[in-house]
Chains A and B, each alone.
Chain A
Amino acid sequence: MSIDRKAVDHVARLARLDLSEVELDVMLTELQEILGHAEQIQALDLDGVEPMSHSVPMVNSMRPDEVKLSLTQEEALANAPEVEDHRFKVPRIMEDEG
């Protein structure tokens, strides 16, 4: 299984990366090499082996539901590139109707 240029373009869109044609070409070569190295594990017979997402067996970590101080609105907004009316401001999200 080898990654192709079409897949690289698609993944860049999914990852919200605006890459140039040159960057996409280089990315293709590098990902092919890295994924080629990963082929050794694709060849392994892993039927019946449980996948592991975490090293510590975890159950839900609960704490008492108490009201505590958290960041103020001012602190939470202090690092935002753009703020309006005490809210994060972003460019247009919806297309114009009609």
Chain B
Amino acid sequence: MTDLHWMSALELADALDAKDVSSREITEALVARGDALEERLGTFLHRTSERALEEADAADARRSAGEAKSRFDGIPVAYKDLFVTKGVPTTSGSKILKGFVPPYDATVVARSDAAGLPMLGKTNMDEFAMGSSTENSGYQKTRNPWDTERVPGGSSGGSAAAVAAGMTPWAWGTDTGGSIRQPASLCSLVGVKPTYGYVSRYGMIAFASSLDQAGPLTRTVADAAALLEIAAGHDAMDSTSIRDERPALLDGIDGGIEGLRIGVVKEFVGGGSDGVRAVTDEAYARLEKLGATLVEVSLPSFQHGIPAYYLVAPAECSSNLARFDGVRYGARVEADDIIKMTSRTRSEGFGAEVKRRIMLGTYALSAGYYDAYYGKAQKVRTLITQDLAKAYEKVDLIATPSSPTTAFKIGERTDDPLAMYLSDIFTVPVNLAGNAGISVPAGLAPDDGLPVGLQLIAKSLDEPTMFKAAYAFEQDLGFATSPEGRASI
């Protein structure tokens, strides 16, 4: 049998069913793996190993009694530290929330718990999910298991590194402009940003509310479908949660892509680094070989995605982060009047990138500049959505690289915010339009030997088609499930 820590959640579920292994054994193996690697990788902000083992024992007892909560009862999971967890410290990667212990669970956490998934801990992230490398964490850097001198991507970099290193089969992340798909790409994982409203945002510490979505980071496409199914669905606690029924993802995932029309973006041809281009060109050819028809589509407004996103997201963040005022939770810097107290608390509690985005957003929304910046960005958002809608008249899915480059070196982009922002060039339009996107491992770049991800974009609520295509691609490539597809750490 494969090492427990490299088994997929579906394989573990089968092994549990066959009584080949217990949840206690799985959880002990993952905790031991974490003990061995945590210091080198810096993936977790808070580990809950004792709790996970207790929950594993409870899952074993349920299975023995024939009362398993779900097919995945007893398979542990990790959460990005942006999900509030009752009784477990939650910081969203920020010093301003040091010591915060939430009084309730996020819906994602509650539903994973209801399925019986023991909690391994809370993973590192860019502060309040603002960043593309996890270097903006207020606490620590996370290293990429494929090359520990490099970043894992971000902002869900802790979750990505933990899954890529075999510390958990799956983890929850969040994606506002690429924060699941880009780290998935850099760590050779599957990462999904579902349709906006697909998963409840209740209990996610808000960054940009009209763009934020929770999603899975896993080593296989089927595991991503399974984890997403666990938490998807309408939630009365999130008024933006969509009411439509979520179609089955895992069931029928092997339906193939014969006859599917997949768009290749005219404006992106030649985009990305040489290594990324080589791998994604091969990936497009593989999709064609599998029976899809490649169709050139034009998305002229995509080139304006980054500037539009970096006005819309900071505007929303400047408003959302106003709640951190030193009164109800988190740190406080004392002063003799409330404005000084609030200003000093925020200045000491927030890191440089968060301050930069609050400033940018406040400026973009301020009197005299609103129309020129925020207003224009909102109109560009309409253009991007219209361009995508037009493309979907001709195609079922759109294929692009997930990230323009492979994993970059730690420190390489920290002094150049704009260069960091450009990491999200292929992913932000999907959030602006509210569509679904998946990053699936496509192999290693010929120039630097680092992982490259293929992004498939689907229209809202067409997750089943997206998963089918990603699954067919993954199975035919055979990379993610081979030893070469794992980080050698």
Interface residues, chain A, CB within 8 Å of chain B? 1, 3, 7-8, 10-12, 14-19, 23, 27, 30-31, 33-35, 37-38, 40-42, 44, 46, 49-56, 58, 61, 63, 71, 75-76, 78-82, 88, 90-93
Contact = CB atoms under 8 A, between A and B. Distances in A.
What 10 A-B pairs have minimum CB-CB distances, sorted nearest first?
A: A55-B434, A51-B378, A81-B332, A79-B329, A18-B343, A61-B239, A75-B103, A46-B379, A38-B307, A49-B379
Contacts of B335: 91
A90 B378 contact: no
B68 interface: no
B376 interface: yes
Nearest to A20: B347
B308 A91 contact: no
A44 B383 CA distance: 11
Contacts of A54: 210, 240, 434
Contacts of A82: 332
17 contacts: A1-B369, A8-B359, A11-B359, A15-B362, A34-B310, A35-B360, A38-B311, A41-B376, A44-B379, A46-B380, A51-B382, A55-B385, A55-B434, A55-B460, A61-B240, A91-B341, A93-B337
B260 interface: no
Interface in B276-320: 303-304, 306-308, 310-311, 318
A73 to B, nearest CB: 11
Given A15-B358, A71-B104, A78-B101, A31 B342 contact: no
Contacts of B103: 71, 75-76, 78-79
Contacts of A12: 359
A78 B406 CA distance: 44
Interface in B410-466: 417-418, 421, 432-435, 460
Contact of A79 (B328, B360, B375): B328
A34 B336 contact: no
A10 B210 CA distance: 27
B342 A3 contact: no
Contacts of B104: 71
A48 B240 CA distance: 27
Contacts of B356: 27, 30-31, 34
Given A8-B359, A30-B417, A51 B379 contact: yes
A31 B343 contact: no
A39 to B, nearest CB: 8
Contact of B307 (A41, A63, A76, A92): A41
Contacts, number: 167
Contact of A55 (B325, B343, B417, B433): B433
B479 interface: no
A24 to B, nearest CB: 10
A14 B370 CA distance: 15
A18 B242 CA distance: 40
Interface string B334-374: 11111111111011001000011011101100100100110
A18 B344 contact: yes
Contact of B375 (A17, A35, A51): A51
Contact of B343 (A16, A40, A41): A16
A95 B216 CA distance: 51
A34 B360 CA distance: 9
A15 B347 CA distance: 10
Nearest to A10: B366
B327 interface: yes
Contact of A56 (B197, B303, B310, B336): B197
Nearest to B376: A41
B381 interface: yes
A35 B25 CA distance: 53
Given A30-B356, A44-B304, A51-B378, A81 B331 contact: yes
A64 to B, nearest CB: 10
B21 to A, nearest CB: 38
Contacts of B373: 35, 38, 42
